Amino acid sequence: MGKLERRLIRAFIFDLDGVVVDTAKLHFDAWKRLASEIGIDFSEKDNERLKGVSRMKSMEILLEIGGMNFSRATVAQLAEQKNQWYVELVDNMNEGDILPGVVDFIEELSSLRIKTAIASASKNACLVLKQIGLKEAFDVVVDGTMTRHAKPDPEIFLLSSGKLQVPPELCIVFEDAIAGIEAAHQAGMIAVGVGNEGDLESADATINGFEGLNTRVLSLILAEKRHIDVGLWKEGDDAQKKTYR
Ligand code: B16
Ligand code: MG
């Protein structure tokens, strides 16, 4: 193995939909309902294109799939209707919808005093977090109401690291969407893909999910895949004497 690049990680940033909770199915059901109302045939495969993408961009993609054009006002109305249906579905979510292993992993980080953030394109992120009982679990929450530029723009991750007061290169991002991996890289962060390795080739490493994951396992995966030696920052560490756990 060649020389390892060393980083003492001080924060982990989590995408929400598809990483902490599987809301993709609910987004799909709401988009599908809208699509059939306006006469568009919309499949699960089409839905893949909407993952990690903002609501209005998703609307554009849906209309492109159906080859349809509407006035701006109608497009906004349709997006609002989809959102109402989505929110009705979110209202039925609970703690049982948190993806396996996520809570254990966040608890490990908290016990190590490593900072955490949610960085989600969703304007409903706070509502989803409240429903699943994780509203207070993260140090910082940045959502689609706080940003102007959608992923793959790095804005959401840079805003998160700013609020966490941790330099971007000392943050690790978990993302399920290619646009999110690109955004994390543009922000100068390590990006771990959550999902199929084949779908997320640009990620620094990929995990199927959080079940059985801990910081030690993650550090081994990153060292093997991208030659990044990830240690965790401990209170009392300084520039001269960097301590690894
Ligand atoms: P909303 P993430 C994204 O959340 C979803 O992946 C994407 O499918 C959705 O269109 C987007 O949020 C906007 O959501 O309509 O609720 O504002 O993956 O960045 O957590
Ligand atoms: Mg996502």
Ligand 1 atom nearest the C-alpha of 15 is 20
Mutate to test the pocket of ligand 1, among 27, 57, 97, 200 (most ligand atoms within 8 A of CB): 27
Question: 3 CA distance to ligand 1 centroid (A)?
Answer: 38
The residue whose C-alpha atom lies closest to atom 5 belonging to ligand 1 is: 52
pLDDT at 175: 96
* pLDDT, mean of residues 81-101: 97
Is residue 188 over pLDDT 60? yes
Mutate-to-test residue for ligand 1 from 13, 14, 16, 17, highest number of ligand atoms within 8 A of CB: 17
16 C-beta closer than 6 A to ligand 1: yes
How large is the average pLDDT for residues 26-36?
Answer: 97
Higher pLDDT among residues 4 and 26, named by residue? 26
Average pLDDT of the chain is: 91
Q: How high is the pLDDT of residue 236? A: 62
Tokens of 60: 């554009």
Mutate to test the pocket of ligand 1, among 120, 127, 175 (most ligand atoms within 8 A of CB): 120
Q: Please indicate whether residue 19, judged by its CB atom, sits closer than 6 Å to ligand 1.
A: no
Q: What is the pTM of this model?
A: 0.90
Rounded to a whole number of angstroms, the distance between the first and last alpha carbons of the chain is 21
For ligand 1, atom 16, the nearest C-alpha belongs to 122
| 240 has pLDDT over 60 | no
State the catalytic residue, choosing from 15, 46, 139, 204: 15
Nearest CA to ligand 1 atom 7: 52
Whether 98 has a pLDDT exceeding 90, the answer reads yes
pLDDT at residue 238 greater than cutoff 80: no
2 pLDDT tier (thresholds 50, 70, 90): low
CA–CA distances in Å: residue 119 to residues 109, 142, 156, 185, 194: 17, 5, 6, 14, 15
- Please tell me the predicted confidence (pLDDT) of residue 242: 44
Q: Do 100 and 210 form a contact (C-beta atoms < 8 A)? A: yes
Expressed in angstroms and rounded, the spacing between residue 68 Cα and the centre of ligand 2 is 26
Give percent of the chain above pLDDT 70. 93
Q: Which atom from ligand 1 is nearest to the alpha carbon of 58?
A: 10
pLDDT digits (tens, 9 = 90+) for 36-61: 999 999 999 899 888 888 999 999 99
141-173 b/e with 16+ CB inside 10 Å = b?
bbbbeebeebbbbbbbbbbbbebbebebebbbb
Q: Whose CA is nearest to atom 3 of ligand 1?
A: 52
* Predicted confidence (pLDDT) at residue 87 exceeds the cutoff of 90: yes
Query: Nearest ligand to the C-alpha of residue 129?
Result: 1
Catalytic annotation present for 17: yes
Among the atoms of ligand 1, which is closest to the Cα of residue 151?
A: 19
SS3 of residue 47 by DSSP:
helix
Helix/strand/coil for 178: helix
* Distance in angstroms (rounded) separating the CA atoms of residues 184 and 191: 6
Q: What is the pLDDT of residues 131-177, one digit of tens each?
A: 999 999 999 999 999 999 989 999 999 999 999 999 999 999 999 99
